[in-house]
Amino acid sequence: MKAHKSLPKTKQTSKRQQCNGKWFKPKRIPKNSDSSNLSPSTAMAKLEHHASNLRKDKPNLKRLKKAAKAVSFRQVKTPAATERTPTRHLTNGGAGGPEQGSDSDESQDWSSFAKSVLHQNGGGESMEGQESCVSAKAAPGRIEEEAFVHCAERDYIHNRTVLVMQQGQTLCFRGKCLLSCLYGRVEVHGFTLEEGQQSYPLFSPSSHCPLTVTALGDSPNPSKTKKAGRLEAKAIVRKYLSTESRNRLLSEVDSDSCVILLEPLDTPLTRFLTSFPDLKELFGLSSRDIRDSSAMLDTPLSGLGITPLRKTAGGMVMSQTYREALNGLVNACAEELDGCPVILVCGAKNVGKSTFNRHLINTLLNHTASVEYLECDLGQTEFTPSGCLSLSTVREPLLGPPFTHQWAPEHMIFYGQSSCETDLDRYLESLKSLWRLYNRETPIVINTMGWVKGFGFQLLVDIIRLFSISHVVQLSSGDKVMCPQLTPEFLRSSHGWQTHPPVQSALGEDNSGTHPAQRSYTLFRIHSEFEGAGRPGEMRHQRSNEQRDLALLGYFSQLQSPEPGPVRPLHCFTPYQVPHSAVAVGVTHCEVAPTHVLYTANASLVGLCCLNEKVSGRGSPVLLSQTPVCPCVGFGVLRGVDMARGLYFLVTPVAPSILRQVNCLLLGAVTLPNTLLTGQTGILGDPPYVTMDYSFELTGAGKLHAFKGLARPGQMKNAK
């Protein structure tokens, strides 16, 4: 594609470096923690320097052990199981401790440190019991409104909040923020954040289940005493808060505490989405939160774009079978007895497949540098707008819904529809071409459609057979059986769309009489127990069509400038000029007369694809007679067609260097969100491509309804 437009090079965000080994993370570079600048006191400088030296002994490399620890089964130590004195709730504010009422926190810390050194050298008395009294530890569970008075402090100068959480405490919230773990470890949706790691953006919109931050305590380090850990955590609090605001918070710090920093999050994505009137409250409270009075509005977190939720607001609900499946898959990845596991997640609609996939990927990223993800669901895609099949390498945790992480996958094929019932063979051929690109060096998670009846079930059987699945996770809800149990024994006698018993060879074209035995796999059954499981979402932005629109808006938010400023509407961007003879144009979902193709494609979403053969025309548009299975590098809006000059005008966030490879524009049934056209500002007169002069009374003017499970003429040959 010839692009007559030069754009400045965009600054690439830093990712985790890709490792040659499979099961390790690269070393994290700790943040600069020169403690000599934390306090003017010479004694405290020595104290904090000693504490920072102890941190150097902490290993920075995570490895997945042979026997992986259980996921989400962390037990919080109770007073009966420890030698410490009984803990107190946060509501007492640490009253009665020796720190309250002291004239100098620094002198007390230095005195405690000196006594601990004497005790280690054989002199002095043990301070263990006194340390327990100083720490006003809270009981495990959700942080409630009165607790924020003691465990959170706002820095109004830098507009940030320091939150101290005790082991086992949770923070469930709505909104968006930037989270940094300053001390200890916290877990968010399966991913563990440790001190020294980069900051991560958290997205908890009203359209999805609220995120929960869980405190895990400090990492085990035999060379660091509890006293040293407590002093180290206090030094960190002093670094981020002024003297006036930190005194009350210091009384809550203990060696098992977690100290996190919460900052406002302002990105091109959030600015672009909230610029539309219908999406202004996307990161606010849901109607259920308002109905149940779950929000805590007056807290130190309120000014950051975060609204904590009370216990009445249900966070993520994990059933026993959910936890067992998660633990079993992590252990399977640790053993690696027969190569990397190939994990397929299936189930009917609205049973939690996408949520489980994100949780599983985040958990695996605690132990490996990357996880492969094969997208087989055309309607509810994770990393791309709908209508695409893709193979992605995930290196960063997924801490938000799909529209918050729309990025270009390594390999993608544009199918053009949110369902595959009109062309099952092209759907399977597209998946096969993606599967051939999988290197089998890292574990892979395969997401499937919620269509599990009729032809949809046959496609599921084909995918399990063709891709040599090692683990199947089958989700269900309620008592109604939507899909039979996919046991290996049941699958041996099941008929697929392209495969039949005995199973055919995986991806080869050899149709000889030899049929290898089907590979056995492990089946995990999950019964979803969250509220509304198995039913479509009833609240705003929860319906499937709204989710698809959000994904498209998230993708085109990449057009916005990374610098803060006003949002630019679609018509403000200078389009690329593409000659008619440089690209071929095709329609994937229906038959269109050649004279009407350009009328159909005008002001529509198109896939930017790359054909193997060279496209050359003689000045006139090049039209495709058949839909190809070819790579796709992104999406664009065909803003206009100039027949006089022989040019297409294309608006896209894809870089010019990649656009030069594009020689095909494919139009599908995936349409632009209405708000993207009607919500444009700064237009004199009527908005382009928007009209009210339309009659729905004309024959064929209404919406075309598709009925899944009905045999089309092209499907009758295999429906016997």
Phi, psi of 609 (to 5 degrees): -120, 165
Measured distance CA(420)–CA(713) in Å, rounded: 15
CA 27 to chain centre: 22
Q: At what angle do helices 226-240 and 243-250 cross, to 10 degrees?
A: 150
Q: Produce one character per residue of 658-683: b if its CB has 16 or more CB atoms within 10 Å, e if not.
A: bbeebbbbbbbbbebbeebbebbeee
Q: Which of 646, 601, 1, 72 is nearest to 359 (CA)?
A: 72
Measured distance CA(437)–CA(457) in Å, rounded: 25
The string of DSSP letters for 559-608 reads GS-SSSSPPPPGGGSPPEEEEGGG-EEEESSS---GGGHHHHHTTSEEEE
How many Cα atoms occupy the beta-carbon half-sphere of 247 within 13 Å? Answer: 12
Of residues 540 and 378, more confidently modeled: 378
Residue 296 token pair: 């805590």
Q: What integer pLDDT is reported at residue 518 of this predicted model?
A: 61
Residues 288-300 pLDDT 10s: 888 888 888 888 8
Residues 491-546 pLDDT 10s: 988 999 999 887 555 555 444 443 445 678 999 999 888 777 767 766 778 888 99
502 prior amide bond cis, ω within 30: yes
User: Which span out of 313-322, 329-338, 390-399, 527-536 was modeled with the highest average pLDDT?
Assistant: 390-399
Cβ 3 vs Cβ 656: under 8 Å = yes
Q: Which of 19, 555, 602, 646 is nearest to 273 (CA)?
A: 555
Residues 439-476 pLDDT 10s: 888 999 999 999 999 999 999 999 999 998 999 999 99
Measured distance CA(433)–CA(638) in Å, rounded: 28
Measured distance CA(643)–CA(655) in Å, rounded: 26
Q: Kindly tell me if the per-residue pLDDT of 398 is higher than 80.
A: yes
Q: Produce one character per residue of 204-220: b if its CB has 16 or more CB atoms within 10 Å, e if not.
A: bbbbbbbbbbbbbbbbe
Residues 75-101 pLDDT 10s: 333 333 333 333 333 333 333 333 333
Helices (H), 188-225: none
Q: Kindly tell me if the per-residue pLDDT of 138 is higher than 80.
A: no
Q: What integer pLDDT is reported at residue 312 of this predicted model?
A: 73
Helices (H), 88-165: 105-120, 128-134, 148-151
Residues 24-66 pLDDT 10s: 444 444 444 443 343 334 444 444 444 444 444 443 334 343 4
Q: H or E element: which one contains 675?
A: helix 674-678
Phi, psi of 249 (to 5 degrees): -70, -30
Cβ 483 vs Cβ 474: under 8 Å = yes
Q: How confident is the model at residue 334 (pLDDT cuts 50, 70, 90)?
A: confident
Q: What integer pLDDT is reported at residue 139 of this predicted model?
A: 58
Measured distance CA(575)–CA(561) in Å, rounded: 16
Measured distance CA(357)–CA(364) in Å, rounded: 11
Strand-by-strand arrangement of the 647-651 sheet: 576-579, 647-651, 632-642, 605-609, 664-667, 584-587, 622-623
